[in-house]
């Protein structure tokens, strides 16, 4: 069993509705009917969305991990609640559809230093719950293809893309070749167009669980960020 700490909007948010229409699955374990999006049928999109569909619509804050010895789910949920009670929501910002080396994702259109710091805080705070990577888990990250800094992150934090390497993104496709990526980007821009000018706040964190290897991740607990924002002179 693995857990992950994600950001995802509430299940009744219109952004979630559009993402679930595209992916054909809900991280909230409810039935979803995938429709045709800009001429792309669910069957045509299925090879593009296999991994994002399994992980659910989200942005990773703490990458999937097994619980360390002596840790349990109840303690993890309690820690999530305690962290959320002291963390302030990240100021709203506009989203955009971006091609990240072949992966299509929703990202923030402008730099978000507050969000980057918030994500780093989550990585540190919850690392005591994380079991060390097994040899197989480390090998699946292909450390031989990572630079020295990313390998160090992998070995220290269990995931390469943390701190300076973090980039907020809500993945919507697999890595696609150039023609498919171009087609997917056009469809996604049109699909999400009604919401791209509406700022979105990172104002909650969600605990998701993978019950068995390869099984879909499902949200089992969400906590609103209710701490006060820091004031600067």
Q: What is the pLDDT of residues 25-37, one digit of tens each?
A: 999 989 998 889 9
Q: Are 220 and 8 in contact (CB under 8 A)?
A: no
Of the pLDDT bands very low, low, confident and very high (cuts 50, 70, 90), residue 232 is very low
Q: Considering the chain, what is the average pLDDT of its residues?
A: 94
- Residue 107 reports pLDDT greater than 70: yes
The three-state DSSP-derived secondary structure of 96-138 is EEEEECCEEEEEECCCCHHHHHHHHHHHHHCHHHECCCCHHHH
| pLDDT the model gives residue 33 | 84
Q: At the topology level of CATH, where does 2-224 sit?
A: Cyclic Phosphodiesterase; Chain: A, (3.90.1140)
- The tens digit of pLDDT for each residue in 110-123 reads 888 999 999 999 99
The arithmetic mean of pLDDT across residues 82-98, rounded, is 95
Characterize the bridge pairing of strands 200-202 and 170-171.
unpaired
CA 108/CA 111 separation, integer angstroms: 7
Q: Give the count of beta carbons closer than 10 Å to the beta carbon of residue 125.
A: 17
CA 142 from centre of chain: 20
Q: What is the pLDDT of residue 92?
A: 94
d(CA 180, CA 183): 5
Q: What is the pLDDT of residue 230?
A: 54
Q: What is the mean pLDDT of residues 40-51?
A: 95
pLDDT, mean of residues 153-175: 96
- 102-121 burial code (b ≥16 CB/10 A, e <16): ebbbbbbeeebebbbebbbe
Q: What tokens appear for 157 in the block?
A: 């934090």
Task: Tell me the C-alpha distance between 23 and 46, whole Å.
Answer: 8
Highest mean pLDDT among 34-38, 167-171, 229-233: 167-171
> To the nearest whole percent, how much of the chain has pLDDT over 90?
93
- Distance in angstroms (rounded) separating the CA atoms of residues 66 and 209: 10
Could you state, in order of their start, the residue ranges of all structural domains in the chain? Answer: 2-224
What is the separation, in whole angstroms, between the first and last Cα of the chain? Answer: 46
- Rounded Cα gap, residues 44 and 12, in angstroms: 27
How many beta carbons lie within 10 A of that of residue 227, not counting itself?
A: 12
When pLDDT is cut at 50, 70 and 90, the band that residue 233 belongs to is very low
What is the structure's pLDDT at 228? 78
Query: Tens digits of per-residue pLDDT, 179-197?
Result: 999 999 999 999 999 999 9
């Amino acid at each position: 069993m693995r857990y992950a700490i994600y950001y995802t909007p509430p299940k009744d948010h219109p952004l979630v509705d559009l993402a679930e229409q595209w992916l054909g699955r809900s991280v909230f374990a409810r039935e979803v009917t995938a429709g045709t999006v800009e001429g792309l049928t669910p069957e045509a999109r299925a090879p593009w969305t296999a991994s994002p569909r399994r992980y659910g619509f989200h942005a990773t804050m703490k990458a999937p991990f097994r619980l360390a010895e002596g840790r349990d789910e109840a303690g993890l949920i309690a820690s999530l609640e305690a962290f959320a009670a002291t963390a302030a929501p990240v100021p709203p910002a506009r989203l955009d559809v971006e091609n990240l080396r072949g992966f299509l994702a929703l990202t923030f259109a402008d730099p978000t230093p507050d969000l980057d710091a918030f994500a780093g805080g989550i990585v540190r705070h919850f690392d005591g719950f994380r079991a060390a990577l097994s040899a197989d888990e480390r090998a699946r990250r292909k450390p031989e293809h990572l630079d020295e800094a990313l390998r160090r992150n992998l070995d220290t934090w269990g995931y390469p893309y943390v701190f300076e390497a973090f980039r907020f993104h809500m993945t919507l496709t697999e890595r696609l070749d150039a023609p498919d990526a171009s087609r997917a980007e056009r469809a996604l821009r049109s699909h999400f167009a009604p919401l791209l000018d509406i700022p979105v706040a990172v104002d909650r964190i969600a605990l998701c669980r993978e019950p068995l290897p390869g099984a879909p991740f499902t949200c089992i607990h969400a906590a609103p960020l209710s701490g006060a924002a820091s004031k600067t002179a």
